[in-house]
Amino acid sequence: MKTLLLRNTQLVDGTGAPARTADVWVRGDRIAAIGENLAVAADEVLDAGGLTVAPGFIDVHTHDDAIVLRDPGMLPKLSQGVTTVITGNCGLSLVPLVSDAPGSPLDLLHTSEFRFAHLNDYAQAIADNPPAVNVGALIGHTTLRAKVMQDLTRAATPEETRDMAALLDDALAHGALGLSSGLFYQQAFAADMAEMQALTRVVGRHGGVYVTHIRSEMDDILNAMQEAADTAQSGAATWIMSHHKCAGPRNWGRTIETLALLERLSQRQSVGTDVYPYSAGSTLLREDLVDGVIDILITRSDTHPEMAGRYLADIAQEWGTDQLQACRRLMPGGACYFQMREDDVRRVLAHPMSMIGSDGLPHDERPHPRLWGAFARVLGHYCRDEKLFSLPEAIHKMTGLSAQRFGLHDRGLLREGAFADLVLLDPARIQDKATYENPRQMCEGIERVMVNGEWAFAYGQVQGAGAGRFLCR
């Protein structure tokens, strides 16, 4: 069994505890020992030179369902220190739907990959061609609807709800982490409480999580949060609020209210939230998000692909029309919406409940920079430069807290017996480089990444064959 001794590190263990000097001995795919001046033999000995070693980062909010199969090297994630991705967010998962034309918003995951009727089929595809990162999967509510319903603009019938619940039960029994919903999207908006509560009861029986892109992140956000929390509570499931934000100028500053509500809800049920470190979001190109006030950057357009990377206001002016008409001409497509305010972003990032998720769209022609830079931005800009939190606190939000919330056993912590998912980084150099103008740029300061005891990233490059695994709850 291969062994590695990593000497002279500043160890940040993922619990939030202060850094300490330590050696780390890896045996096979596990951490075998941690301590100062370990007297053990190893096939490989690496002097870290005082660099920080931390658990591999867990990206709790991704749309990497298909990209882990299409591009298993996963450079955008590995280069930031991410060793585990959670797929199936916002109600969108590849499982359990087989279709050549899944429609919007499911096509955000890449149309050609909807070929998995069962979760074990998806897990087997990962095992057959292992990606460089571990994969944990949520089951998407919109995907379930597309599987059993012809018309997604209405609430499900009791019979359709039972069919969805049976599909969800099967997936959870085979290792899915929980259910996600995207009630924000038209294809799920009509779902009523009866439909959602029936599904969360299944989640609760399996000890899973209910993760939701809530119905509104704008004016009606408090009611949308309460609805999601009540839904999760009815099923005794942990509720996780996706990409916590208050969107649109009328709602800037309201994270004081939303975080206060989250804290009150945490007194009665298990709750959490994730956040990305940017004041712009990214989703489908939608008419209802065009208000003439916020900046909108086009990331893709099926009708006018040449407009990717340009602002909607400039396109509208060039075409001699208003932004709404320009948006209609560009659809279908995607965009970055500069709809949050910096103080809200900071407030959510700093909150002890918040985990870090990138929410990147890997199939966009010009993705949001969060795909390549989210974790480095937290560590470099917000932790080191802005001193919003300490390094151990920042890493806890990316590791131990995330593993605990999603039920990932022996992940997210540096301790004896845990899986050897490690990142070796330089806190003084860590810096995101991806921009809205040039989003496909690797960050700086991530020296090495290990996944399940194998070096996965070093010297700015993916190393060897993929060592990632499908993770069951």
- Core vs surface per residue 107-143: b (16+ CB within 10 A) or e: bbbbeebbebeebbebbebbeeebbbbbbbbbbbbbb
Q: Quick one: average pLDDT of 392-408?
A: 98
Predicted pLDDT of residue 28: 98
List residues bridging with 163 in a β-sheet: none
- Collapse the DSSP code of 9 into the 3-class scheme (helix H, G, I; strand E, B; otherwise coil) and give the result: strand
Predicted pLDDT of residue 473: 86
CA atoms within 13 A on the CB side of 300: 16
Lowest mean pLDDT among 53-57, 99-103, 355-359: 99-103
Predicted pLDDT of residue 239: 98
pLDDT tens track for 205-216? 999 999 999 999
Predicted pLDDT of residue 365: 80
- Core vs surface per residue 36-59: b (16+ CB within 10 A) or e: eebeeebeeebebeebbbbbbbbb
Query: For residue 143, what are its two tokens?
Result: 């995907």
Q: Tell me 118's DSSP state.
A: S
List residues bridging with 157 in a β-sheet: none
Does the pLDDT value for residue 111 go beyond 80? no
What is d(CA 7, CA 5) in angstroms, rounded to the nearest whole number? Answer: 6
Confidence band, pLDDT 50/70/90 cuts, at residue 77:
very high
Predicted pLDDT of residue 203: 98
Q: Tell me 380's DSSP state.
A: I
pLDDT tens track for 188-205? 999 999 999 999 999 999
Confidence band, pLDDT 50/70/90 cuts, at residue 83:
very high
Q: Quick one: average pLDDT of 259-287?
A: 97
Share of the chain above pLDDT 70, in %: 100
Q: Give Cα separations from 214 to 66, 217, 464 (angstroms).
A: 23, 7, 40
Predicted pLDDT of residue 110: 82
> In order of start, what are the domains of the chain with their CATH numbers?
56-279+340-407 (3.20.20.140), 282-337 (3.30.1490.130)
Q: What is the mean pLDDT of the chain?
A: 97
pLDDT tens track for 5-23? 999 999 999 999 999 999 9
Distance of CA 50 to the CA centre of its chain: 30
Q: Quick one: average pLDDT of 62-70?
A: 97
- How many CB atoms are closer than 10 A to CB 263? 13
Asked if 181 contacts 198 with a C-beta cutoff of 8 angstroms, the reply is: no
What is d(CA 421, CA 449) in angstroms, rounded to the nearest whole number? Answer: 8
Q: Quick one: average pLDDT of 276-300?
A: 95
Predicted pLDDT of residue 332: 93
**Contacts for 290 with CB less than 8 Å, ≥ 6 apart:** 296, 312, 323, 324, 327
Predicted pLDDT of residue 112: 83
Confidence band, pLDDT 50/70/90 cuts, at residue 41:
very high
Element (H, E) at 141: helix 141-148
- Core vs surface per residue 360-385: b (16+ CB within 10 A) or e: bbbbbebbbbbbbbbbbbbbbbbbbe
What is d(CA 294, CA 360) in angstroms, rounded to the nearest whole number? Answer: 20
- What is the DSSP track for 425-440? E-TTT-B----SSS--
Share of the chain above pLDDT 90, in %: 96
Q: Quick one: average pLDDT of 57-73?
A: 97
